[in-house]
Amino acid sequence: MGKSTYIKLVKESEISGWSKGALSKAIKSGKMSVHAKTKAGFQLDPAEVLRVFPKKTETSTNKQSETPEKHNVNSAISTEANALRQQIATAELERSREREQLTDRIESLQQMLADEKSERRQLTALLSDQREKAAEPSRKGLWARLAAR
């Protein structure tokens, strides 16, 4: 067998990603064995530390640190969604108002068209009546023409 390397508690906490307090608590409770206790502190076997405390991966650390960021992102998205909903509601209100105005304008134009159509018919009828009246005197019969002389 080869010579084992032992590491101090402080250094092992930095390497494993676990706090010194968590490592000390495991030693005191008997979950983890110690190679030696010196004035400088505990000397730990890295394999023993990994047995009790599996090495923390960067992804779990990232997930913990991302949670507040995700919350901030979610809150920003929520705020943006609310602002967009408000803009949509305003646009829909404006659209309905414009639709009412256009409907009123269309009805007004249709009424004007109907009025002008009626007026044109009346004027056409009036003009055709005058032509008939002017043509009527020229149609006098033979007796009327002879009597007029």
| Per-residue pLDDT tens digits for 129-139 | 665 555 555 66
How far, CA to CA in Å, does 40 sit from each of 11, 16, 21, 46, 67? 12, 19, 16, 17, 38
In a domain, 1, yes or no: no
Domain boundary residue among 36, 56, 76? 56
Please check the confidence at residue 91 and state whether its pLDDT lies above 70: yes
How far, CA to CA in Å, does 1 sit from each of 4, 18, 72, 133, 140? 9, 29, 53, 138, 149
So what's the pLDDT on residue 124?
87
Q: Verify that 76 and 132 share a domain, yes or no.
A: yes
Q: Verify that 37 and 80 share a domain, yes or no.
A: no
In a domain, 15, yes or no: yes
Total domains in the fold of the chain:
2
Please check the confidence at residue 115 and state whether its pLDDT lies above 80: yes
The residues, ordered by sequence, that sit 6+ positions from 24 with a Cβ below 8 Å of its Cβ are 9, 42
| Nearest-10 crossing angle of helices 20-29, 9-16 | 120
Q: Verify that 15 and 38 share a domain, yes or no.
A: yes
How far, CA to CA in Å, does 50 sit from each of 30, 34, 41, 146? 15, 13, 19, 143
Residue type, 135: A
Higher pLDDT: 56 or 27? It is 27
Q: What is the mean pLDDT of the chain?
A: 79
Domain residue limits at 103? 68-136
Instruction: Note the pTM of the prediction, 2 decimals.
Output: 0.35
Q: Are 45 and 27 in contact (CB under 8 A)?
A: no
Q: Verify that 98 and 126 share a domain, yes or no.
A: yes
> Hey, which residues does 38 pair with through a beta bridge?
41
